Structure formats: structure tokens, C-alpha cells
Amino acid sequence: MTPLRFAPIPAALPATVPFVGPETLQRQRGAPFAARLGANENGFGPSPRAVAAMQAEAGRVWQYGDSTSHDLREALARHLDIAPASILIGEGIDGMLGLLVRLMIAPGDAVVTSEGAYPTFNYHVAGFGGVLHKVPYRDDAEDPRALAARARATGARLVYLANPDNPMGSWHDGAVIQAMLDDLPQGCLLVLDQAYLEFAPATAVPGIAADDPRVIRMRTFSKAYGLAGARIGYAIGEPGLIAGFERIRNHFGVNRIAQAGALAALADRDWLTGVVARVAAARDRLGAIARDNGMVALASATNFVAIDTGRDGIFARGLVAALEAEGIFVRMPAVAPQDRCIRISCAPEADLDRLAEALPRALARL
């Protein structure tokens, strides 16, 4: 029997998994992790009000979710003081990135990103036939001026920048992002990933109008709101761009349980404030753990910390494996020179206690 043929673009691609999930690693090692500190998840959990809202909605899960996410969209519009027409609700930032690339990129179109930046964006670009152009990090941060220069040189349709950054936790002041917009070529769209916005200082938020046609901002309920497993986020953009997603999006892709949870989480400001404070305390603790073991924690505006091992990528990769053997799940940047670091999620004290106990043993293994 003749095997089925894939379409030309996916047929030419390797099977790729941007991130190997902790569940896969647990199956491989034959035991659960004692501390899950590698996926930038919010171990402090979602608002109890969000949990209750999702539980209440579970009995109605036989119904499709509202295809327009009307209530959440209206609540976000009030919260952000912008028009609902500037808001897209989607299946997390990963899902919305895929839709954006599908909407904007034809085979052969140029796309600019940073070498070592969030790989899921690259995965989508490759999947739709775009051509990636990459610039290096500068001082462990993405380089807005270099990204804009490469966009001008290549005639890029999209430029990706995360602020704050994953995997390094670094950030730029909002004024830097605003200046970058003025440097982009005509017809180029800045994809501004703001997944960690709630953890960042206020100065990191650029003063960009919701209907600015040069940028689309991606935000999520996965991080500060603790709803990673619900897969729900939103984008802010010019109404014509947002309306364009109606041509291609999965209209029933955001389930009703996620919508209810996000709506309740958004309303619980006290819980969010508490989570942000606990994350800040955990960053301080991770800094102390790093110092106690002869390493340096880089400044972070996220819910994780990049810890500089002072060695190279081979050493850092060995340390990740040694910690895994100790039951501690962490990750590391993939590209030199950032791969000298390991990346550890902020977490409750009990998990950080386990890390503090395991790290000296892991270092001794090396």
C-alpha cells in the first residue's frame, strides 16, 4: 500500500518537540519529580475563586464554550480600558502564535527573532514555510536595536521579542520597546510576548496604544494567574488585525471551563498581588541558594531565575541531568553563551528546600 503523502512544507520538516514535558521525563526515569521547577509554572496555584468557578462549570462541560469568549473579552476590555475589538482570546500564547504566523506568513517570508529565544514561535514559522533570521542576545537580553536592523535588512513581516524574556528573565524598559517600533520597516509587525508581564516592574510596560498597527501583544493566564493547564490567553492589537483571526481561528478552541477560570482569576486582584509577592520572595531565595553553591542568580522580572553556573553549556547540561537524578526538574537555555545557565522556576518553600538539599549533591556528581 502506498503511504500517505504529507503536504510539502511539513513533509520537509523533522518531527520536532520544542519542549520535552516533565511527564515524559517522569515516565523515562520511572518516578515522579520531588520538585517540578523547570516549566515556568506557577507552583503557588490559581485563585481559589478561579478553582471554584471551574468546578461549577464542570457540570456544563457537555456544552461548547462561548465561541466569542464574550464575558472574558468584555472583562478584559474594562480591566485594560481598551475596546473589546482590540482583544483576541485564544488557547494560550502558543496557540495564538501559531494562528498569527498562519495569518501573516507565506512560504519564503522573512521572520526575525533572537538566537535562543522562545522556540515555539520558531516551530510555527517553520511549519508555515517562513524563513527565520536570528540575532544574538546582548548581555543576556534580547537586543531590540539588532532585531529592528535585521528586520530592515531582510524585509521581515514579523519580529518576535519577549519582554520580560524567556529563558533569561531579563527585561527592557518600555521606552526601549517604543523606540524599537519606530525603527521597524513599513509593514513589519512586532510580536511582543508579555507572558511574564505581571511580575515585571511598571517601567517595563511600554505605553503603546491598543490600536497601534505596528504591534500585537500576547499575554496569558498561565503564569501569574496559575492556569497553565487551562490553556487560555489573550492578544491586544489593532481591530483590523484582531478581526483577521476570524478567518482562521478554531472558534470553539477555548473551552468553557478555561473561560470561567480566567474570568474569576482576573477579578481576584488580591490573589494576584499575593502571588507576585511570593514569587519575588522565591527569587530572593533562589539567589541565596545559588550563592551558597558558588553560582550567581541573574536579575529576573519573571517567575523563574536563570542561574549562571560560571562554566559552559556542557557543565550546565550535566547539572540539569544530575538534578533530575535527584528528583529535581529544571531546564536550561539552549544556545551559547546563555547555555552556561540553568533556569529554575519560583516555587513554594518546600520545593525550594528540596532544591537546596539536592543541589550540593548534584554538583558533587560532576
Interatomic CA distance for residues 243 and 222, integer angstroms: 24
Whether the CB-CB separation of 109 and 157 falls below 8 Å is answered with: yes
pLDDT band (50, 70, 90) for residue 99 = very high
CA distance 124 to 105: 10
Q: For 110-115, what is the mean pLDDT?
A: 98
> How far is the C-alpha of 272 from the C-alpha of 25, rounded, in Å?
30
Alpha carbon distance 366, 363 (integer Å): 5
DSSP state of 332: -
Q: Model pTM?
A: 0.97
Return the pLDDT at 18: 87
User: Half-sphere exposure (CA, 13 Å, Cβ side) for 67?
Assistant: 6
Q: Taking all residues of the chain, what is their mean pLDDT, rounded to a whole number?
A: 97
Q: Which CATH class is domain 17-45+270-365?
A: alpha beta
- DSSP for 192-237, written as a single string: EE-TTGGGS-GGGS----TT-TTEEEEEESSSTT--GGG--EEEE-
264 and 186 in contact (C-beta within 8 Å)?
no
pLDDT band of 283, cuts 50, 70, 90: very high
Closest CA to 196 of 217, 210, 175, 212: 217
Q: Is 68 buried (19+), middle (13-18) or exposed (0-12) by CB count in 10 A?
A: middle
The per-residue pLDDT for 16 is: 87
Name the fold adopted by 48-267: Aspartate Aminotransferase; domain 2 (3.40.640)
How many Cβ atoms are within 10 Å of 324's Cβ, its own excluded? Answer: 20
Q: In 3D, which of 239, 297, 258, 300 has the Cα closest to residue 69?
A: 258
Average pLDDT over residues 46-74: 98
Q: Pick the closest to residue 133 from 160, 162, 107 (CA basis).
A: 160
Please state at what angle helix 313-325 crosses helix 349-365, rounded to 10 degrees: 120
The 10s digit of each residue's pLDDT in 186-243 is 999 999 999 999 999 999 999 999 999 999 999 999 999 999 999 999 999 999 999 9
Q: What share of the chain is helix, strand, coil (3-state, %, to 5)?
A: 45, 15, 40
Domains 17-45+270-365 and 48-267 share a fold: no
Kindly write down the DSSP assignment for every residue of 129-195, as one continuous string: T-EEEEE--BTTB--HHHHHHHHHHHT-SEEEEESS-TTT-----HHHHHHHHHHSPTT-EEEEE-T
Domain boundaries of the chain, sorted by first residue: 17-45+270-365, 48-267
Per-residue pLDDT at 104: 98
What percentage of the chain reaches a pLDDT higher than 70? 100
CB count within 10 Å of CB 146 equals: 15
